[in-house]
């Protein structure tokens, strides 16, 4: 019987009336279909093992009735060797069964994990902003393993118990039908409890998964560098320990109550089995005394009756095991069934030889609500209610950027600058209107080809926990060492890298925390230059640089961005004043546009922002 966890009363309704849906079972089989030959071998080995289990009790009865009374040492040796041979063969078949089980189980784990990873990667960015990483990774780990267990362990146990029960009953009926009927008197007491236990077991399993996912999320958030730094800076280590201790205590309490519940249930079943065995021995003993039953047959019957109650106990829990194990499949399918609004159109075209013309036509946009992206168990509690009626972030935005132009976006915080740039590589779809690249609506292009033509450097660049070279080659996997050197020289970071003991082989740490903010910024610029895109988006790309480094990088960017369409979000005067065109955003709309001199002459919001920047940079 599978391990169980404590029942929380509020979950009782979750599993009320739970049953195995034909559609769900068919979907599970589709995942196992590529392994159908292995499944056949697995089931065959389980059946052979069940049949071989009959050999020892039957031969033991023969030894008592024939070999011992006749003092036939030869026959005794044959029976003994047959018992050993059956056990040896059963062991070898068990190895084969374990081999097939491992092949199927690990194969299904691989398929499910790859399918989940592929699907999650295709979900929109808004999904990740509303989902805890630890909870999501828990789905890709624990739930996938639970699904694998449902397909192999549970399936094998059910088949083995059915075959064992059927073959044992046939053998018992042949020996003595009356004792067989007597042994079956207690059968209803094994079967009746399964419905209630099944509901409790399924509820307990889901609650356990949710609690473990919560603990994983806590550890994931607190053990990354940013989380650990925040805890230390605010001196909240003790509070975090207390919070984690509380959650771990809930898991502990579930385990304790589960253990008692499981043990108590199994004790009752064992007691019923002992009563049934005692009845068979008692009545069978009377038959033996009366001469209608041999001692050997009674001994064999006593051994066989144990083979009835053991699989009956297993089959009593079979539905429980299937329902609880299928909870894992349900949780996996919940993720796989999440629909992404950002999919390539059936007739999507490749963006070939991009020129870099960007056009916004009457674009309005609001971020999707949580209830539009929810996966059960992964949503942030309370987020849906707080986001009902979200107002548009952008409203009726119109502008055109010609190929090769450098365009600066300026405006107060929250004006919609970053949101606007995220629509160009189609991280989100517009609510109204259209975004065009080279005259093509971005929704009519393949996402891969569109994003391949766009390079992005954000304010807080992300580096993987890998070497500097690997992080740079993320933009171009086949880049040569000379190309790495060249882009790093252009980004004014080559001297820093060459001063490191391992050079380009230096591991940057999680999120690049072994590098300074300016070094990370310049590495991300080098990575963008290595990609060699037709269009570039810079979101405060020089915000972490000191004045000296900023001047060097600005000079490098000016050369690197020549001939490329560039959209720059900046608060630095040096960036804004060099722009071919400036778009002034306020409350989600473009309130003005033009060159620096034109906007300054007109006054208004841009003039106010400019004077503020001048005071900040003095």
In 3-state terms, what secondary structure has residue 167?
helix
Q: What is the pLDDT of residues 174-220, one digit of tens each?
A: 888 888 887 777 677 666 665 566 566 666 666 776 777 777 777 77
Looking at the fold, whether 512 and 556 belong to one and the same domain comes out as no
In 3-state terms, what secondary structure has residue 571?
coil
Looking at the fold, whether 268 and 119 belong to one and the same domain comes out as yes
Does some domain include residue 160? yes
The residues near 168 (Cβ < 8 Å, ≥ 6 apart) are: 54, 304, 307, 308, 311
Nearest to 336 by CA among 133, 116, 142, 147: 116
* Residue environment code for 416-428, b if the CB has 16+ CB neighbours within 10 A, otherwise e: bbbbbbbbbbbbb
Nearest to 1 by CA among 153, 165, 186: 153
Q: Count Cβ atoms within 10 A of the Cβ of residue 141 and give its class: 0-12 exposed, 13-18 middle, 19 or more buried.
A: middle
Report residue 555: phi and psi, to 5°: -65, -45
Looking at the fold, whether 584 and 469 belong to one and the same domain comes out as no
In 3-state terms, what secondary structure has residue 187?
helix
Looking at the fold, whether 449 and 471 belong to one and the same domain comes out as no
In 3-state terms, what secondary structure has residue 281?
helix
Does some domain include residue 148? yes
Quickly list DSSP for 378-411: TSPTTHHHHTTTPPPSEEEEEEEE-TT-EEEEE-
Quickly list DSSP for 92-145: HHHHHHHHHHHHHHHHHHHHHHHHHHHHHHHS-HHHHHTS-HHHHHHIIIIIHH
Asked if 484 contacts 506 with a C-beta cutoff of 8 angstroms, the reply is: no
| Residue 565 belongs to domain with CATH number | 3.40.50.300
Asked if 62 contacts 79 with a C-beta cutoff of 8 angstroms, the reply is: yes
pTM of the model: 0.68
Looking at the fold, whether 52 and 138 belong to one and the same domain comes out as yes
Determine the Cα–Cα distance for residues 34 and 139; give it in Å rounded to an integer: 23
> What residues in the chain have per-residue pLDDT under 50?
1-18, 382-389, 618
Q: Count Cβ atoms within 10 A of the Cβ of residue 468 and give its class: 0-12 exposed, 13-18 middle, 19 or more buried.
A: buried
Determine the Cα–Cα distance for residues 299 and 94; give it in Å rounded to an integer: 27
Nearest to 382 by CA among 371, 372, 398: 371
Does some domain include residue 353? no
- Sign of the C-alpha dihedral computed for residues 294, 297, 299 and 302 taken in this order: negative
Residue 411 has a CB neighbour count (10 Å cut-off) of 23
Looking at the fold, whether 502 and 518 belong to one and the same domain comes out as yes
The residues near 180 (Cβ < 8 Å, ≥ 6 apart) are: 169, 172, 173
Return the beta strands (E) in 443-564 as ranges.
454-457, 535-539
Does some domain include residue 384? no
Looking at the fold, whether 612 and 487 belong to one and the same domain comes out as no
Looking at the fold, whether 195 and 305 belong to one and the same domain comes out as yes
Residue 561 has a CB neighbour count (10 Å cut-off) of 18
Looking at the fold, whether 598 and 477 belong to one and the same domain comes out as no
The helix, strand and coil proportions of the chain, stated in percent and rounded to the nearest 5, come to 65, 10, 25
Distances from the Cα of 605 to the Cαs of 33, 195, 611, in angstroms? 64, 70, 10
Does some domain include residue 214? yes
**Which among 526, 553, 572 is the end of a domain?**
526
The predicted pLDDT at position 439 comes to: 93
Say which residue the tokens 């020996």 belong to.
175
Does some domain include residue 376? no
Q: Encoding tokens for residue 290? A: 């009366």
| Residue 137 belongs to domain with CATH number | 1.20.1560.10
**Which among 511, 526, 541 is the end of a domain?**
526
* Residue environment code for 520-558, b if the CB has 16+ CB neighbours within 10 A, otherwise e: bbbbbbbbbbbbebbbbbbbbbbbbbeeebbeebbebbe
The predicted pLDDT at position 351 comes to: 92
Determine the Cα–Cα distance for residues 146 and 538; give it in Å rounded to an integer: 44
The predicted pLDDT at position 560 comes to: 66
Determine the Cα–Cα distance for residues 564 and 456; give it in Å rounded to an integer: 13
The predicted pLDDT at position 402 comes to: 94
Classify strands 406-410 and 565-569 as parallel, antiparallel or unpaired: parallel
User: Radius of gyration of the chain from Cα atoms?
Assistant: 35
In 3-state terms, what secondary structure has residue 441?
strand
Looking at the fold, whether 219 and 326 belong to one and the same domain comes out as yes
**Which among 479, 505, 526 is the end of a domain?**
526
Structural domains counted in the chain: 3
Classify strands 432-437 and 440-441 as parallel, antiparallel or unpaired: antiparallel
Looking at the fold, whether 521 and 539 belong to one and the same domain comes out as no
Which residues constitute the domain of residue 441? 400-453+533-618
Side by side, the strands of the sheet bearing 432-437 are 394-401, 358-365, 432-437, 440-441
Beta partners for 590? 585
Pinpoint the alpha helices (H) of 397-513: 417-423, 447-452, 468-473, 481-490, 494-498
Looking at the fold, whether 59 and 208 belong to one and the same domain comes out as yes
Asked if 2 contacts 325 with a C-beta cutoff of 8 angstroms, the reply is: yes
Q: Encoding tokens for residue 467? A: 């070497």
The predicted pLDDT at position 490 comes to: 84
Classify strands 406-410 and 581-586 as parallel, antiparallel or unpaired: parallel
Does some domain include residue 343? no
Does some domain include residue 506? yes
Asked if 315 contacts 137 with a C-beta cutoff of 8 angstroms, the reply is: no
């Amino acid at each position: 019987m599978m391990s169980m966890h404590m029942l929380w009363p509020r979950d009782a309704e979750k599993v009320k009336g739970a049953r195995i849906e034909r559609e769900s079972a068919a979907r599970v089989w589709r995942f196992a279909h590529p392994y159908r030959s292995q499944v056949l071998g697995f089931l065959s080995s389980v059946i052979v093992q069940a049949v071989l289990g009959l050999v020892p009790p039957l031969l033991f009865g023969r030894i008592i009735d024939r070999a011992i009374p006749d003092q036939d040492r030869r026959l005794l040796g044959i029976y003994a060797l047959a018992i050993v041979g059956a056990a040896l063969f059963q062991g070898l078949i068990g190895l084969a069964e374990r081999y097939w089980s491992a092949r199927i189980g690990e194969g299904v784990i691989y398929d499910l994990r790859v399918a989940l990873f592929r699907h999650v990667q295709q979900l929109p960015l808004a999904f990740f902003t509303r989902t805890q990483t630890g909870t999501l990774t828990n789905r890709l780990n624990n739930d996938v393993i639970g699904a694998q267990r449902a397909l192999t362990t549970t399936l094998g146990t059910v088949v083995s118990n059915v075959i064992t029960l059927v073959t044992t009953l046939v053998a018992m009926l042949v020996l003595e039908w009356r004792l067989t009927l007597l042994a079956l008197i207690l059968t209803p007491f094994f079967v009746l409890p399964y419905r209630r236990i099944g509901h409790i077991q399924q509820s307990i399993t889901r609650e356990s998964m949710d609690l473990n996912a919560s603990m994983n999320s806590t550890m994931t958030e607190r053990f990354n560098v940013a989380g650990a730094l925040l805890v230390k800076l605010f001196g909240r280590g003790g509070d975090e320990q207390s919070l984690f201790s509380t959650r771990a205590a809930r898991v502990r309490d579930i385990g304790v109550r589960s253990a008692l519940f499981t043990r108590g249930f199994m004790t009752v079943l064992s007691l019923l089995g002992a009563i049934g065995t005692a009845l068979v021995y008692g009545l069978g003993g009377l038959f033996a005394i009366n001469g209608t039953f041999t001692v050997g047959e009674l001994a064999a019957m006593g051994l066989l009756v144990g083979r009835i109650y053991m699989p009956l106990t297993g089959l009593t829990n079979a539905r429980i095991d299937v329902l609880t194990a299928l909870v894992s499949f349900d949780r996996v399918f919940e993720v796989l069934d999440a629909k992404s609004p950002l999919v390539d159109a059936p007739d999507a075209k490749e963006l070939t030889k991009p020129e870099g013309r960007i056009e916004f036509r009457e674009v309005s946009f609001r971020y999707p609500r949580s209830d539009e992206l929810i996966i059960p168990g992964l949503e942030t509690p309370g987020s849906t209610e707080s986001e009902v009626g979200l107002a548009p972030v952008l409203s009726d935005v119109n502008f055109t950027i010609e190929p090769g132009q450098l365009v600066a976006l300026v405006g107060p915080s929250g004006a919609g600058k970053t949101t606007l740039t995220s629509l160009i590589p189609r991280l989100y779809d517009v609510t109204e209107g259209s975004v065009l690249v080279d005259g093509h609506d971005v929704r009519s292009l393949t996402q891969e080809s569109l994003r391949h033509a766009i390079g992005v450097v954000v304010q807080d660049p992300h580096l993987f926990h890998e070497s500097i070279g690997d992080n740079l080659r993320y933009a171009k996997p086949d880049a040569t060492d000379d190309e790495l050197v060249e882009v790093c020289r252009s980004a004014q970071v080559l001297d820093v890298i060459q001063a490191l003991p391992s050079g380009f082989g230096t591991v940057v740490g999680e999120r690049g925390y072994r590098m300074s903010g300016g070094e990370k910024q310049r590495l991300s610029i080098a990575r963008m230059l290595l990609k060699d895109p037709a269009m570039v988006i810079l979101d405060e790309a020089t915000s972490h640089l000191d004045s000296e480094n900023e001047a060097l990088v600005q000079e490098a960017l000016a050369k690197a961005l020549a001939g490329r369409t560039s959209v720059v979000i900046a608060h630095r005067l040096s960036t804004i004043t060099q722009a071919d065109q400036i778009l002034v955003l306020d409350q989600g709309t473009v309130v003005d546009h033009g060159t620096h001199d034109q906007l300054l002459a007109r006054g208004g919001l841009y003039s106010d922002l400019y004077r503020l920047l001048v005071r900040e940079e003095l």
